[in-house]
Structure 1
Amino acid sequence: MKLKTALMLSLFLIPLTTLSLGIINSTGMLFTLYILSGFGMAGIGMGVMHDAIHGSYSKSSKLNKILGYTMNLIGANATVWKLQHNVLHHTYTNIQESDDDINMPFFLRFSPHAKKYKIHKFQFIYVWFFYSISTIAWITMKDFVRLFRYRNMGMIPSKAEFRDSLIKLIFWKILYYTYALILPAVFLPFSFGLVLLAFLSMHIVTGLVISCVFQVAHIMPGIEYPTSNEEGEIENNWLVHQLLTTSNFSPKSKLFSWLIGGLNYQIEHHLFPNICHVHYRHISPIVKDIALQYGIAYNEKSTFVEALGDHLKMLKTLGK
């Protein structure tokens, strides 16, 4: 984890620092450095802040809190993510209107219980564009929209807490845009439009990587989308629910798993979010064996490519 943290932070910060120094005069190098930073941004999101905000990076709560701010460092917000991901997604996985990871704008349908429109027939084609701009939407407006929505839902209990969260959100956004876009635009010998385009290319890389890795864990054929009864209860207990609504992929690829923060073991992550992801590959065979003993589905794809293919099929199915 220490090696990964150093690697991903360096991959994100060194290219941006180089750009801010104004020593680059090649358009190709401009885009190369931003794209490299995009991979670093994705690595921080998947392999550093994810564990830290779950409290599983370290036994030290203080260190987890500090490293959780790497989420803010890459333009998003740790407070909003914790509510969206830790609370809503992990508690209500694949439950329509409760799991914010499948609550999409009207033009995307990620649940068979969501309202269907004619445009959904083509979502398997245009979804990749929205995946590519997902982190741009995230850092510009989504965090603000969700912060206000979570306040209205009562998830932020006091006005003072909401005010402090909003002030910190604005501060971190300004800081991020300063070192990721404004300083390079000021000191580099390129037009602002070209620097902005390179900045967007960074987010296209990050958006595609993160969206594909996260979405193939839940928007898949064979995965269940439970509904609750009038009392808000679902049929299965929480542990079984996680097994039925989650899928693994690429269990034999150690390097790939290391690079994406163990997110190919989503089942184990959902069952044990307080355990660091470096242990998931050792836990996975035990979980699989016990699940099969009790006749509970253990959803798993052998490769990431196979998982992406099945994700595409599911998007088609949801659009029909």
Structure 2
Amino acid sequence: MALRQASDFAELAALIKQARLLDRRRGHYFTRIGVNLALYAAVWAAFALLGDSWWQLVVAAALAVMTTQLAFIGHDAGHKQIFASKRWNEIAGYVHSGLTGVSYGWWVAKHNRHHANPNHEDEDPDVDISVLAFTQRQGEAKRGPLRWIASHQAVLFFPLLFLEGFALHSHSIRHSGRERYLMIANVVVYLAAVFWVLSPVQAIAFVVVHQGLWGFYMGCSFAPNHKGMPVLSAGHSLDFLRKQVLTSRNIRGGWFVDLLLGGLNYQIEHHLFPSMPRPHLRHAQVIVRRFCTERGISYAQCGLFRSYGYVLEHLHEVSAPLRKAAV
């Protein structure tokens, strides 16, 4: 059985390669990067022209959207989806990390650990979050205020996402080595520009709206992918194919969902073939889903809002013992 399971992925990979879905799509990425950078620059130009005004909060919201779109490109560069050359992918990654204020080196190392062991209770950093519990064992280990937050995590989940942007900046500065100076420069230049143009109260409001909405958008883009799916523990016997498919969830939708979620809505295909260019993921889905169906492998897919429902249901169920203990 183990040999048969191992050969399953080799067979699937052969089908993907035969369809040429691992070929680079540089033209697509050049266009996307160019449009993103032009829109990002236009938002900052609007900021400069508008001056000291409460309408800047609209600019802050637009900036949150574009910051997330730039982060999606950084994600693709980190997986070497854009160029065949490691160096050029790193250049693209570092440029976009410099614009978003997220350490490229720190994030890539963390994200690679996630891809190697998705939804693994002990080895996936994405299910090791201080304020959340994804298993009852994690919940039981919480103490003090963190235990109270975890016991009410289903209610607090979306409000907590507004802090995600601030957390990403903090982690990037603390854990990025020499890249720390680039992250600090990002924060200094950003705050200097905002407080130079706006009054102190409006500047604070701008930062809160921009960073809050950016964190919320980022969190809402990544949360549906694995949260509420099976959590693995030490000693599991799943092969690579089943480990990646059974712990991931796809999100239905057309071109708008593809754009909104940066291709992360094809999470199953992305986890099976991380270096696959984003525009090929929807084509790979046809092959992967048919392949899983033929072999009786569960393939999870639902609408965006239903995925959030699954996330909240899982968080509520896991935290039930904590609420009972507090009564």
Counterpart residue number, 2:143: none
Structure 1 residues 200-230: Cα deviation after superposition (integer angstroms, max 9, x where no partner): 211111111111121111112xx2111113x
Q: Does the 8 A contact of 2:149 with 2:156 survive in 1? A: no
Work out the CA distance in 1 between the residues paired with 2:205 and 2:69.
22
Answering whether residue 31 of structure 2 is matched by residue 3 of structure 1, we say: yes
Counterpart residue number, 2:323: none
Q: CA deviation at 1:298?
A: 0.5
Structure-2 change in CA distance of 1:213 and 1:42 (3 Å):
same
Instruction: Please report the RMSD computed on the Cα atoms of aligned residues, expressed in angstroms.
Output: 1.8
Counterpart residue number, 1:15: 43
Q: Does the 8 A contact of 1:16 with 1:34 survive in 2? A: no
Matches within 5 A, 1:167-246: 167-169=178-180, 171-186=181-196, 188=197, 190-220=198-228, 223-229=229-235, 234-246=236-248
Structure-2 change in CA distance of 1:37 and 1:283 (3 Å):
same
Answering whether residue 84 of structure 2 is matched by residue 59 of structure 1, we say: yes
| Aligned-partner residue type, residue 181 of structure 1 | L
Answering whether residue 256 of structure 2 is matched by residue 255 of structure 1, we say: yes
Percent identity over the alignment is: 23
How many residue pairs get aligned? The number is 285
Answering whether residue 153 of structure 2 is matched by residue 99 of structure 1, we say: no
Q: CA deviation at 1:110?
A: 2.3
Structure 1 residues 169-222: Cα deviation after superposition (integer angstroms, max 9, x where no partner): 1x2123212332212212x1x3223212211211111111111121111112xx
Answering whether residue 64 of structure 2 is matched by residue 38 of structure 1, we say: yes
Q: Does the 8 A contact of 2:122 with 2:233 survive in 1? A: no
Work out the CA distance in 2 between the residues paired with 1:38 and 1:173.
18
Structure 1 residues 271-299: Cα deviation after superposition (integer angstroms, max 9, x where no partner): 00011111010000110111111111111
Work out the CA distance in 1 between the residues paired with 2:179 and 2:109.
16
Work out the CA distance in 2 between the residues paired with 1:62 and 1:119.
42
Q: Does the 8 A contact of 2:132 with 2:150 survive in 1? A: yes
Answering whether residue 162 of structure 2 is matched by residue 132 of structure 1, we say: yes
Q: CA deviation at 1:23?
A: 4.9
| Aligned-partner residue type, residue 276 of structure 2 | I
| Aligned-partner residue type, residue 234 of structure 2 | S
User: After the TM superposition, which parts of structure 1 deviate over 6 Å for at least 4 consecutive aligned residues?
Assistant: none
Q: CA deviation at 1:18?
A: 4.2
**Which residue of 45, 48, 54 maps to 1:27?**
54
SS of structure 2 residue aligned to 1:216: helix
Structure-2 change in CA distance of 1:113 and 1:282 (3 Å):
farther
Work out the CA distance in 1 between the residues paired with 2:217 and 2:246.
24
Q: CA deviation at 1:8?
A: 2.4
Work out the CA distance in 1 between the residues paired with 2:260 and 2:139.
36
Q: Which has the higher helix share?
A: 2
Counterpart residue number, 2:139: 115
| Aligned-partner residue type, residue 227 of structure 1 | S
Q: Does the 8 A contact of 1:73 with 1:176 survive in 2? A: yes
Structure-2 change in CA distance of 1:124 and 1:115 (3 Å):
closer
Structure-2 change in CA distance of 1:213 and 1:112 (3 Å):
farther
TM-score by length of 2: 0.82
Work out the CA distance in 1 between the residues paired with 2:212 and 2:191.
15
Counterpart residue number, 2:100: 74
| Aligned-partner residue type, residue 259 of structure 1 | L
Work out the CA distance in 2 between the residues paired with 1:8 and 1:110.
35
Q: Does the 8 A contact of 1:71 with 1:77 survive in 2? A: yes
| Aligned-partner residue type, residue 195 of structure 1 | A
TM-score by length of 1: 0.83
Work out the CA distance in 2 between the residues paired with 1:266 and 1:224.
15
Work out the CA distance in 2 between the residues paired with 1:108 and 1:67.
32
Work out the CA distance in 1 between the residues paired with 2:319 and 2:261.
29
